[in-house]
Amino acid sequence: MDREKVIEIDDRLQHIAFIMDGNGRWANRRGMPRELGHKKGVEVFTDITEYCHKIGIKYITVYAFSTENWKRPQKEVESIMKLLDEYLDKSASEDACVRFIGDSSRLDPALAEKIRLMEEKTRNGTRVLNVALNYGSRAEIVNAFNKLAAAGKREITEQDICSALYTCGCPDPDLIVRTGGDLRISNFLLWQAAYSELYFTDTLWPDMTSKDVDLAIEDFYSRKRRFGGLDKK
């Protein structure tokens, strides 16, 4: 059945964020090195983000590498950075405006420059793809406060903080999907997730398909979002 006939995406679901977890386990189960799980993970990332855009999701955020992922063996970190570098060499999907969120100061300068060029090249895209790279939500919030302090702000409002986050201008995620079976947020969008619907699946990221996205979306539309109020009569 054609997916678009199942559920019409409307303004209730503008932004989906994915915690793309499970690449290492996917590879281990096949007796392959973790790096091959990341390679498959990038292919799936391209498919899933294109699918989400195609069905009408305006904003997608993906968690690609956390501020804590540097703790991994150097070989694994290098392979992830190399995959990112290769991703940046490919042309981005036609209508996606790609934005990298995170601290780019720790990245290899050549990679940081490619990121800048990709952002520049895609800036007129009609849909947004945020790639969280060397991203940590606590670091993002600290960075926001430091920006506000440097600007001489004394009475800080919620709006000031939103404007100083990497996600400035992007609505909060309506739905956060985590693959890989763990039931946690792992320092992702802590501020922005205040009223996000959370969806966890045991599916490992490299096994994620458009059908799994549909299931998450169906689940989202079955929920009642109250934002602290009462159900609408």
Using CB under 6 A as the criterion, which residues of the chain lie in contact with ligand IPE when the complex forms?
19-25, 63-66, 69, 80, 180, 182, 184, 186
Length of the chain: 233
Three-state DSSP state, 40: helix
The residue from 47, 69, 212, 219 that is catalytic is 69
Stretch that binds Mg ion, among 13-21, 35-43, 45-53, 68-76 (CB under 5 A): 13-21
- Contacts to Mg ion from residues 14-33, by CB under 5 A: 21
CB atoms within 10 A of CB 46: 13
Following DSSP, what letter does each residue of 94-148 receive, concatenated?
Answer: TTEEEEEES-GGGS-HHHHHHHHHHHHHTTT-SEEEEEEEEE-HHHHHHHHHHHH
Smallest gap from Cβ 233 to ligand IPE, in A, equals: 40
Residue 21 is a catalytic residue? yes
Residue 76 C-beta: closest distance to ligand IPE, Å: 8
Residue of this chain nearest to ligand IPE (CB atom): 24
- Residue that is written with structure tokens 């009609």 in the block: 126
**Active-site residue, 95 included:** no
What are 99's strand-pairing partners? 130
| Contact of residue 182 among ligand IPE, Mg ion, none (CB under 5-8 Å per partner type) | ligand IPE
Catalytic residue ranges: 21, 69
